[in-house]
Amino acid sequence: MLVLVVLIVVTVTFVLSHVIPGDPARLYAGPHARFEQIEKARTELGLDKPLWEQYAIYWIRLFSGDLGMSIHSRRPVTEDLMDYFPATVELTTVSMTLTVIIGILLGIVSALHKDEAPDHASRLYALTGVAMPVFWLGILAQLFIGYTLGLLPISGRVDAMIELIYPTRRITGLFLVDSLITGNIPAFISALSHIILPTLTLSFATLAVVSRMMRALMLEVLDQDYIRTAKSLGLPDRLVVYKYALRNALIPVVTVIGLAFGYSLGGAFLVETVFDWPGLGRYTTDSIVTLDYPAILGVVILTSMVYVLVNLVVDVLYAYLNPRIRY
Amino acid sequence: MAIKIVKDFKSEHQAELNELSFTLHMIKHSPLTILGVGIVSTLVMLAIFAPYIIPYAEDAYLSIHPERKLMPVSFEHLFGTDDMGRDLFSRSIYGTRISLQVGVVVILVAAIVGVVLGGVSGYFGGVIDEAIMRITDAFLSIPSLILALAVAATLGPGLNNAMAAIAVTWWPWYARLVRGQVLQIKQELYVEAARAMGGGKLYIIFKHIMPNSLAPIVVNASMDVGYAILTAAALSFLGLGAQPPAPEWGLMISTGRKYMPTRWWYTTFPGLMIFVSVLGFNLLGDGLRDLLDPRIRRKGRVKR
């Protein structure tokens, strides 16, 4: 599956980027380059070779972990990705954790109070959550919580002053983790306050989806014969819900998490742009402006690989958790 | 004479009339569906009549009024004005035209491609089915916004390219949906009967399978128009969709961001338009699902 995904992504984007007019060599050589300089850049980038040869070379390089040179940063794309990826990982991980915990709780509450006030409230939230453009929500959050109330910082990962006085040693690239394990408390607080708004923005829509799915799963389980049996035996409601229903409803939630991760990854690209978060999303926006095909291709390959891997883990976890499935 | 005809019509179409009144009854008792229908029909009207109803028609595209730059909300300018002095209310309303067009065209293309490929896949099965399904698998295993971004970036910035990019990411969902429908309907007794009576493949596909698999496609399509609008706005926000001076909502938010803390109206109102449109199509789709799903219909009837 992974192989097929990469194959299709690479082929589709490669073909598109080389069929469409627009000359990366000219961009690479700069705006005032003379003809010879452009030709030199063309040879340097391998753009003078026949298309199929470029395609083959691309594949050979890909296998050795070489994604080519970025046109706008003039560094290997792999190195760029390694610089930008941790920020995206940090943002999506924190947001996913929040989404899953609150989403499950919200789902249970609205399933238990089906067609009552909490359920209506959560339905209303779900409807608005998925309809809200995530980049607009981010801007509104910046306006009201950042500017008007002045509660939280609105851009970047950490305060510039704090970074100067208490520099964080890079170990994992995740600022929250790095500052915590090196005991750098001021940096940790700064990083934490910077991640709150982007995380909440990113979680808003995903939370709506997860809570609705959890509600549906919970209702399905509550309708099962074994729940009726447990109830008719006179077991207390609390026990029935939390021991028998919740356990069974939680198994398919694993799958929901895999799906939600995809939403988050896509949303992260927009949230990063709004909050000036130095992750893959911002790297991509910069690459778009300069028609930086190697960089864009690199990002797409990396993110789709991560997504497929996460879903693979989800499938394995699902099989492990659910005794009814044994491969 | 006339009365007699009416009577005949009524008794002849009693079943249909009952269905119709029941449908109306269901709509009447679902305020959210009414809201959805209301929003979507308002949007359609706005899109059609935009050039005639907006107060500053010349502001829809390129016009510069230095004397009323970045003015706050007032009676003359309900949504304020932008950095070129253009009336944001006029531009937001005119943006309905662009966004509705984008949403409808994208979903139409995606649905047609999906229906054809999914139908072929489901009806013929075998190697073709296997091949088409593996391709959809691959498409669906990339987060859709990122795939759209990649395709739009490789095609180059522009609204048409963005639309193509979104359609590329969307057809696999329809292919999957239609294939499932076809596989299920293929086994129904009435299809078998049609085949036994010598009905040709094309006849069966067009007369039996297509009409019966239409409902879920329509429901999905009406919801997806909203999401397509949302995705197109997102691409425009990133600079990959509509280009200035088009009054596209995502693009307006992206330029408005530069004037952010003080000129809040610049980003707020175009965003509100996106939000309301997506919400409208979502509610419409939700309502349609309840109306078209025979199981829910029957349940409703028993309740009554």
Tens digits of per-residue pLDDT, A1-24? Answer: 667 767 776 777 677 666 655 566
Tell me which residue of B167, B239, B166, B180 sits closest to B209, measured CA to CA: B180
Tokens of residue A18, six digits: 């080389």
Q: Are the Cβ atoms of B278 and A130 closer than 8 angstroms?
A: yes
- Interface test mutation site (partner B, options A132, A136, A155, A197, max chain B beta carbons within 10 A): A136
Which of A7, A136, A147 is opposite residue B271, by nearest beta carbon? Answer: A136
- pLDDT tens readout for residues A141-190: 999 888 888 888 888 787 777 777 777 777 777 877 887 788 788 888 88
- Residue A217's pLDDT is 87
**Are A1 and B147 an interchain contact pair (Cβ–Cβ within 8 Å)?**
no
Number of residues written out for chain A: 327
The mean pLDDT of B103-113, rounded to a whole number, is 95
B164 touches chain A (CB under 8 A): no
Q: Residue A300 and residue A206: Cα distance in Å, rounded?
A: 21
Question: What is the model's pLDDT at position B302?
Answer: 40
> In this complex, do B239 and A293 lie within 8 Å of one another by their Cβ atoms?
no
Does position B274 have pLDDT exceeding 90, yes or no?
yes
Question: What's the Cα-to-Cα distance from A290 to each of A71, A275, B150, B156, rounded to whole Å?
Answer: 7, 21, 14, 10
* Residue B267 in tokens: 């980003």
Q: Which chain B residues are within 8 Å of A132, Cβ to Cβ? A: 275, 278
Question: What pLDDT shows up at residue A262?
Answer: 81
Mean pLDDT of B275-285: 94
Which pair of structure tokens corresponds to residue A251? 């198994």
From B274, which residue of chain A is nearest by alpha-carbon distance?
A133
From A220, A211, A238, select the one nearest A107 (Cα to Cα): A211
The token duo for A103 is: 């989403």
Query: What does the pLDDT look like over B134-164, one tens digit per residue?
Result: 888 878 877 888 888 888 877 778 899 999 9
CB contact under 8 Å between B260 and A139, yes or no, is yes
Query: Does A127 sit within 8 Å of B233, measured CB to CB?
Result: no
The answer to whether the Cβ–Cβ distance between A307 and B141 falls below 8 Å is yes
pLDDT recorded at residue B173: 92
pLDDT mean over A79-95:
91
CB spacing of A289 vs B257 below 8 angstroms: no
- Residues β-bridged to residue A76: A69
Residue B202's Cβ-count burial label (10 Å; 0-12, 13-18, 19+) is exposed
Q: Which of A37-51, A52-66, B164-178 has the highest mean pLDDT?
A: B164-178
Q: Do A304 and B146 touch (CB under 8 A)?
A: yes
- Cβ of B145 and A273 within 8 Å? no
Query: How far is B134 from chain A, CA to nearest CA, in Å?
Result: 8
Residues counted in chain B: 304
Residue A59 near residue A170, CB atoms below 8 Å:
no
Contact B181, B216 (CB under 8 A): yes
CB A245 within 8 A of CB A257: no
With cut-offs at 50, 70 and 90, classify the pLDDT of residue B45.
Answer: very high
Q: Which of B135, B140, B149, B255 to mutate to test the interface with A (most CBs of A within 10 A)?
A: B149
> Is A1 in Cβ contact with B143 (below 8 Å)?
no
* Nearest chain A alpha carbon to B226: A131
Contact A1 B141 (CB under 8 A): yes
Which region, left, alpha or beta, applies to residue B15 given φ > 0 means left and ψ of -120 to 50 means alpha?
Answer: alpha
Q: Determine the Cα–Cα distance for residues A283 and A302; give it in Å rounded to an integer.
A: 13
**Rounded to whole angstroms, how far apart are CA atoms B242 and B257?**
16
Weakest-pLDDT range from A22-26, A79-83, A123-127, B126-130: A22-26
CA dihedral B173, B174, B178, B180 (to 10 degrees): 10
CB pairs under 8 A between A and B: 143
The mean of the pLDDT values for chain B is 85
What's the whole-model pTM score?
0.85
Mean pLDDT of B68-93: 86
With a CB cutoff of 8 Å and minimum separation 6, the contacts of B165 are B147, B148, B149, B151, B152, B155, B235, B240
Please report, for residues A164, A281, B280, the alpha-carbon distance to residue B155 in angstroms, rounded to integers and kept in the order given: 42, 18, 31
Selected residue with higher pLDDT from A30 and A138: A138
What value, to the nearest 5°, has the Cα angle with vertex A95 and ends A177 and B254? 110
Q: Which residues of B touch A274 (CB under 8 A)?
A: 257
For residue B192, what pLDDT is reported?
A: 86
- Out of A25-39, A235-249, B100-114, B284-298, which region has the weakest mean confidence (pLDDT)? A25-39
pLDDT for B1 equals 46
Provide, rounded to the nearest whole percent, the portion of chain B with pLDDT above 70.
Answer: 93
H or E stretch at A117: helix A117-131
| Over residues B93-118, mean pLDDT | 94
pLDDT reported for residue A21: 55
Please say if the pLDDT value at position B49 is more than 60. yes
Q: How far apart are CA A272 and CA A262, in angstroms?
A: 16
* Residue B301 pLDDT grade (very low, low, confident, very high; cuts 50, 70, 90): very low
Q: Which of A288, A293, A303, A313 to mutate to test the interface with B (most CBs of B within 10 A)?
A: A288
Do B142 and A303 count as a contact with CB atoms less than 8 A apart? Answer: yes
Percentage of chain A modeled with pLDDT above 70: 90
Query: What local confidence, expressed as pLDDT, does residue B30 receive?
Result: 81
Q: What was the pLDDT predicted at B104? A: 95
B154: nearest CB among A20, A147, A307:
A20
Chain A residue with CA closest to B231: the answer is A133
* Confidence band for A102, pLDDT divided at 50, 70 and 90: very high
Q: What is the mean pLDDT of chain A?
A: 82
Interface test mutation site (partner A, options B154, B222, B282, max chain A beta carbons within 10 A): B154
Model confidence at B93, pLDDT cuts 50, 70, 90, reads very high
Give which of A136, A135, A153, A140 is closest to A269, Cα–Cα: A135
Residue whose structure tokens are 């789902």: A107
Phi and psi angles of residue A277, each rounded to the nearest 5 degrees, phi first: -90, 120
- Selection from B231, B223, B264, B261 nearest residue B249 by Cα: B231
Could you tell me which chain A residue has the CA closest to the CA of B227? A131
Does the structure's ipTM exceed the value 0.95? no
β-bridge mates for residue B81, sequence order: B87
* B275 to A303: CB separation less than 8 angstroms, yes or no: no
What's the whole-number mean pLDDT along residues B229-255?
91
Residue A272 has pLDDT above 60, yes or no: yes
Cβ distance A267 to B145 less than 8 Å, yes or no, reads yes
Range B29-38 burial, b when 16+ CB lie within 10 A, else e: ebebbeebbe
